[in-house]
Amino acid sequence: MPSNTQRPVFLNLVQIRLPVPGLMSIGHRISGVALILALPYLAYLLHLSLEGPDGFAAATTALQGGLGRLVLFLMAWGLLHHLFAGIRYLLLDVDLGLDKPTARASAWAVLLGAPAATVILGVLL
């Protein structure tokens, strides 16, 4: 008995070349998830720092180590990427930058601007 259903097609996701706005969109989603997942750790550090001088010293020590600095750098990068991409999406919602060259340029601006702003922020602080 022949079947009329089509079998699923295997998509090799490594071979698919997304446009730059697609990569930026995936980065926006990943940064949002990372920010949500980091909230418990950041809330714990805030709670620890508010317990008193000993807790504040422990939270400061946790953030000044190599792993703490890496976490802070990645969180700053994720926050700035999410902020810049969110502003880009707000502009797209009001029909600014919808044409292909402008959308590509704004995606590149987000992808390059967030790490640059993170480094500048890290140097200033």
- The answer to whether residue 35 sits within a structural domain is yes
Q: What is the CATH number of the domain that holds 41?
A: 1.20.1300.10
- The answer to whether residue 6 sits within a structural domain is no
Q: Which residues contact 7 (CB under 8 A, 6 or more apart)?
A: none
Range of the domain at 113: 20-124
- The answer to whether residue 104 sits within a structural domain is yes
DSSP output for 4-41 = -PPPPPP--TTT----HHHHHHHHHHHHHHHHHHHHHH
**Is the whole-model pTM more than 0.85?**
no
In the chain, the number of structural domains is 1
- The answer to whether residue 110 sits within a structural domain is yes
- The answer to whether residue 89 sits within a structural domain is yes
pLDDT value of position 97 = 93
Digitized pLDDT (tens) for each residue of the chain, 125 residues in all:
566 678 888 888 788 888 999 999 999 999 999 999 999 999 999 999 999 999 999 999 999 989 999 999 999 999 999 999 999 999 999 999 999 999 999 999 999 999 999 999 989 97
pLDDT value of position 1 = 55
